[in-house]
Amino acid sequence: MKYRQRIKDLRQDADLNQTQVAQILFTSQKVYSRYETGESKMPIHHLITLCEYYNVSADYLLGFTDTPKPLPKK
């Protein structure tokens, strides 16, 4: 799945480690690591949180587009 590489790339581009992203998601580093390796599926609330944190669309994060469009203003 393309999203595994996307979340890893976004994390690294932001100079974050897995533990820091896990804290943003209110989960453990081990759980987050499983998202990156594909051992576990990411729940929708974590997907939303990462989209908001990185300011990218879910389509980009999930690999449906290669254009990281910013989220619309609320």
pLDDT by residue, tens only, the chain of 74 residues:
688 999 999 999 999 999 999 999 999 999 999 999 999 999 999 999 999 999 999 999 999 999 887 767 76
Owning domain of residue 41: 2-62
Q: Is residue 70 in a domain?
A: no
How wide is the angle at C-alpha 13 spanned by C-alphas 12 and 16, nearest 5°? 45
**CATH code, domain carrying 42:** 1.10.260.40
CA distance 18 to 32: 7
Domain count, the chain: 1
Q: Is residue 69 in a domain?
A: no
Q: Is residue 40 in a domain?
A: yes
Whole-model pTM: value is 0.89
Q: Is residue 74 in a domain?
A: no
Q: What is the pLDDT of residue 12?
A: 97
